[in-house]
Chains A and B, each alone.
Chain A
Amino acid sequence: MKSRAGLPALLGALLLAVSAVAVAVDVEPLPTPELQQRFDELTHEFRCMQCQNQSIADSAVGLAADLRRDVREQVIAGKTDDEIRESMVARYGNVILFRPPFEKSTAWVWVLPVLLLLVGVYVAFRVVRQRAGMVAGDDSVVDQDEIKS
C-alpha cells in the first residue's frame, strides 16, 4: 500500500513541468504603476491550473509563467479586466477563476451562504421573541456577579 503525501506529488509535478526557459520576462515591471497594479490583481485571480490551490501570481510553475505573460501582454495591449477574464475562461473554463462568476449557473455559491445567514437571523429573531415573552413568568434569581461568563 503506497502512501505519498500530496506535496511530493505536487513538487514532482513542478519538476516535470518546469521548462528550461527562464521566467525573466514577467518580473520586469509593467510600463505604468496602474498597469502593474492591474496585472498584480488579475494574476491573483487566476488559478494555476497545474498546481493545487495557487494563483498564477504565486506559482513557480512554467505554466503559471506562461499565463502571467499572457495576462501581461493583454494588459499592455489595452484589454479590459473583463476581457482578460473572459479569455481565460474561454480557454480553461470557470475553474480558472478563484472568484466564481455571478452567472445563472454559478450564482448559487454566492447566494446560498447569504440565504443561510438570513435564515439564521430569522431564527434568532423568533427565539429571542419567544424568550422575551417568558421573562415575566420566569422568577429564577440570577446571580450576576458570579462568573460573568
Chain B
Amino acid sequence: MTRFIVPAAVFIALAGVLYVGVVHSPNKSTMQSALLGKTVPAFNLPVLGSPGMNLTNTQLAGRPWVLNVWGTWCVACREEHEQLLAISKQNALPLVGLNWKDEDDAAMDWLKQLGNPYSVVAVDRDGRAAINFGVYGAPETFFIDADGRVQYRHVGPMTPEVWEREFLSRIPRGALP
C-alpha cells in the first residue's frame, strides 16, 4: 500500500495545483505591484504642454490621487480612453497622466483629438520614472492614498468594475470633494 500512497498523494496535490492554476490563469497575466503599501517613488517631470513647469510627487501629497501610465503608441490605452473620460467627469479623484516614452507633439494631438481626462500630464520621455513605478506595460493605473502610499495597481485597460471596486472604494469617507 505504501508504494501506492506516495505517487497517489503527489498526483492529487499536483492535480489540485494545476486546477487552481487553470482557474486563476485569466488573471495571472497581471502581477501584483511590488510597491503596494510603499511610498510613491519620487519624481520631478516636465508637464505636457506647459514648458518650464514641472510636476513632483510632493505637489500631490495630502489627498488620494490616481496615476495613469499611457502612450499614443499603445493600442490598449486607446481602448481605455473613453473610460478615462467618463471617470474624469465624475471628478472623484485627480487623474494624473504619465506619458510614457512618447513624443510631446503626438501626445498633445491625441488629447486634443480624443479629449483630455487628465488634470495634468507628466512627461516621462526616457522611461526612468516609469521603471521606478515598476511599470512593465501600458496602460497601468495606480491608486495613491493621502499619505503618499501606493495602494493598488491595475494593469490593462480600465473598466468601470475595476474603477468602482478598487479605486472608488479606497477613497476614505469624507475625502470626496
Contact = CB atoms under 8 A, between A and B. Distances in A.
Physical contact A–B (CB less than 8 Å) = yes
Interface of A: 13, 16-17, 19-21, 49-50, 62-63, 66-67, 70, 89-93, 95
A20 B105 CA distance: 13
B31 A93 contact: yes
A92 B137 CA distance: 12
Of B75, B136, B138, most buried by chain A (CB within 10 Å of CB) is B136
Interface stretch (B42-50, B80-88, B123-131): B123-131
A98 to B, nearest CB: 15
A63 B127 CA distance: 8
Contact of B34 (A19, A21, A91): A91
Given A16-B75, A89-B34, A90-B34, A70 B131 contact: yes
Contacts of B125: 21
B37 to A, nearest CB: 12
Contacts of A20: 73, 101, 103
B136 A63 contact: yes
Interface residues of B: mostly helix, strand, loop or mixed? loop
Q: What secondary structure prevails in chain A residues at the interface with B?
A: helix
A40 to B, nearest CB: 20
Contacts of A93: 31-34, 134
**Chain B: number of interface residues, binned into ranges:** 20 to 34
Contacts of A63: 127, 131, 136-137
A17 B137 contact: yes
B134 A95 contact: no
A14 to B, nearest CB: 11
Given A19-B127, A21-B125, A93-B32, 6 more contacts: A19-B73, A63-B127, A63-B137, A66-B127, A89-B34, A91-B134
A4 to B, nearest CB: 14
B56 interface: no
B27 to A, nearest CB: 15
B118 interface: no
Interface string B117-150: 0000000011110111110111000000000000
B65 to A, nearest CB: 20
A91 B38 CA distance: 10
Contact of B136 (A16, A19, A50, A89): A50
A91 B127 contact: no
